[in-house]
Structure 1
Amino acid sequence: MDKKKKKISERTRTLFLFTLPSVVMYTVFFTVTMAIGIYYSFTDWNGISASYKIIGIGNYIKALMDRKFQAALKFNFVYTFLFVLILIVISLLVAICLNNLTKTSTIFRSIYFLPAVLSMVTVGLIWNELFYRALPVIGKALNIGWLSNSLLGNKTTAMFGILIVNLWQGCSIPIVLFLAGLQSVPSELYEAATIDGANRWDKFKSITFPFLIPVLNMVIITQVKAGLTIFDYIMAMTNGGPGGATQAVGILIYNQAMKGNAYSQSVAESMILFVIVAIVAAVTLKMTKNKQVGD
């Protein structure tokens, strides 16, 4: 008995040592820095001065009343809604097609996952050149008016240009996740449904979808966060332009902190964005927790 307890103790110690680096890094780079950020959000620190004073929730009130912040939030909400909706539809359809492939499926999976290994800044810079140089040439050659000029140079279409790039790269991981979820569905259920006369939609609604809910939760939460905190693509492609049409909250926070010396207010805006993401995640889990398999 003592030997068994000793083995368990050694195993626990070993597992703890393996997880220790991750715990330390998470504590230092997330928990501690977030606590420091929350503290500075209640001050008037400009990010440079050695002296500052506590002003309470003044930065939060100022941020919520700021029209630029309101406009940036509106952009983020609209962008995130379109991004998550289109991404789920595309990723699920591609995953279903890949799941039905019996040959060359590995090759196609690799092709669809390839964009995920590229950095967002690199992707943004490459597509920026395509939008400004390659696509207008094609548009003029084919006499397509809306394609003859860069999508990023027009206030109306700039957001859609960034959305296209984000979807091109952002669909990679959700496709893999949905594919894993589809492959977890027992084939016996489909066979039984076929015998009962169920069509494809009935099978998807009653069998496939409940198995995909845990994956769907993960995709929605991660991609909502990605949409609300979008920064890299906009910085690389438009820098918030033209005329502020793509001024997301992340770009606004960066400009206020780095260029406007409004560090404490930018931290307050970051905390507001964090709370919004947390609320969306909680609501998503609440709405779907009773609809998955086994509930």
Structure 2
Amino acid sequence: MTPSRSTPVADRAPARPAPAGAGAPVGRPSFWTTRRRDRLTGYLFIAPQLAGTVLFVLIPLGLVFWYSLHEWNVLADEFTFTGGENYAKLAADPNLPGVLRATGLFSAGLVVLNLALALFLAVLLNQKLRGTTFFRVLFFSPVVVSLVAWTIVWQFMLQDNGGVNGLLATVGVDGPNWLRSDGTAMISVIVVQVFKNVGLNMVLFLAALQGVPQELYEAARVDGASRWRTFWRITMPLISPTVLLTSIITVVGSLQVFAQIAILTQGGPGTSTTVLVYYLYQQAFQFHAFGYGSTLSVLLFAIVLALTVVQWQLRKRWVHHEN
């Protein structure tokens, strides 16, 4: 007889037992996935900065707006809701046009002179010349000097019998009282502030200039381009992001000037150097009109926000890689 080809039951391999939980629904994934752990790590890193922004920026902004709707008499301990009366007072304030004019004049003069001088110095110090390190330190050193100390020194220098007029007298020039004349007080404040902060923008421009590829300059020289054309066609487009950064920083800083005005001119002569921040200080802390001072703060915030947004939107027209 031919043996059967079927495998005997006894010789068959035993079936493997089914794994535990086979046929049961798959369990839910772990809550702490890699993605969620990375997100939590990122939130923990930004938590200190976020807390500082909330505590020292957002909450004070909300409180300033809330105070602008009230009249707060600290001496009488009265806090009265007035609605929009402070804003109506703002619209009818006869001093406000002059204050805004002085603020605009100071900001325009500071921004133009600061950026132009900083870029000029950065271009000069970017050359391979002897002594450039010394001049970099020389122009940047006022940035780290105390603002109050710097301003007090300039106050003595700009007095009628100060150091500036003493130098002019050596060449036969009778200098004016710089801080007490209508025609020179604002110019003096602008110059003092320009010399104080020009080094910061100079360093930013210098870093941007050193990042421009030298191959582009070599190609321009081969094509016969002049230095002026090379500057406007190669240098300025490539450093335009830095120009945007410095312009925003300088504009915002110019609208927040206070210590220089308070020390040098106290807003005078008359109100020719009374900028918005100093006028705000006078209303709130000299005349104790904290509600109206808060309203002026809201106006200042609106101006700074509007100018920043305008600059940010205009970047698409002239900033490299933004159009």
* TM-score, length-scaled by structure 2: 0.83
1:181 aligns with 2:208: yes
Partner of 1:34: 61
Contact 2:140/2:200 (CA < 8 Å) preserved in 1? yes
Q: Which amino acid aligns with 2:188?
A: G
Tell me if structure 2 keeps the 8 A contact 1:181–1:215: yes
Residue 109 of structure 1: how far off its partner (Å)? 1.5
Offset, 1:60: 2.0
SS for the counterpart of 1:143 is coil
Residue 72 of structure 2: SS of its match in structure 1?
coil
CA RMSD of aligned residues (A): 2.1
Q: CA deviation at 1:105?
A: 2.8
Any idea what the Cα deviations from partners look like across 1:111-140, whole Å, max 9, x if unmatched? 111000012211110100111222223333
Residue 168 of structure 2 corresponds to residue 139 of structure 1: yes
Match of 1:206 among 225, 229, 233: 233
Q: Who is 2:195 aligned against?
A: 168
Cα distance, 1:101 vs structure 2: 2.9
1:2-57 Cα deviation digits (max 9, x unpaired): 9xx65x76666555444332222221111111110111111122345544333223
- Hey, which bits of structure 1, 4+ residues long, moved more than 6 A? 8-11
- Alpha-carbon distance between aligned partners in 1 of 2:302 and 2:145, rounded to the nearest angstrom: 29
TM-superposed deviation, 1:190: 1.4
Q: Which residue of 2 aligns with 1:243?
A: 270
Q: Offset of 1:85 from its aligned partner? A: 0.8
Which of 87, 92, 108 pairs up with 1:81?
108
Tell me whether 1:150 sits opposite 2:177 in the alignment: yes
Q: Which runs of 5+ in 1 are unaligned?
A: none
Distance (whole Å) between structure 1 residues aligned to residue 196 and residue 214 of structure 2: 31
Specify which of 232, 256, 259 is matched with residue 229 of structure 1: 256
Question: Structure 1 residue 246: deviation in Å?
Answer: 1.3
Q: Which residue identity lines up with residue 136 of structure 1 in the other structure? A: N
- Cα distance, 1:274–1:203 mapped onto 2, change above 3 Å: same
Equivalent residue letter for 1:182: L
Structure-2 separation of matches of 1:198 and 1:47: 67
TM-score, structure 1 length as denominator? 0.90
Name the stretch that deviates more: 184-193 or 103-112. 103-112
- The whole-number CA distance in structure 2 between the counterparts of 1:88 and 1:151 is 24
* Aligned counterparts of 2:251 and 2:40: Cα–Cα separation in 1: 37
**2:150 is matched with which residue: 119, 123, 135?**
123
Q: Is the alpha carbon distance of 1:293 and 1:245 closer, same or farther for their aligned partners in structure 2, counting shifts above 3 Å?
A: closer
Partner in structure 2 of residue 274 of structure 1: 301
Offset, 1:173: 0.7
Larger C-alpha radius of gyration, 1 or 2? 2
For 2:171, the aligned partner's letter is L
Contact 1:64-1:70 at 8 Å conserved across structures: no
Distance 2:250 2:192 in 1: 14
Length, aligned pairs only: 290
- TM-superposed CA distance for 1:289, in Å, is 2.1
Unmatched 5+ residue regions in structure 2? 1-29
Structure number with the higher helix fraction is 1
Higher relative contact order (CA 8 A, sep 6+): 1
Which residue pairs with 2:316 in the alignment?
289
| Counterpart selection for 1:260 from 287, 291, 296 | 287
* Residue range with higher mean Cα deviation, 91-100 or 226-235: 226-235
| 8 Å Cα contact 1:254/1:266 also seen in 2 | yes
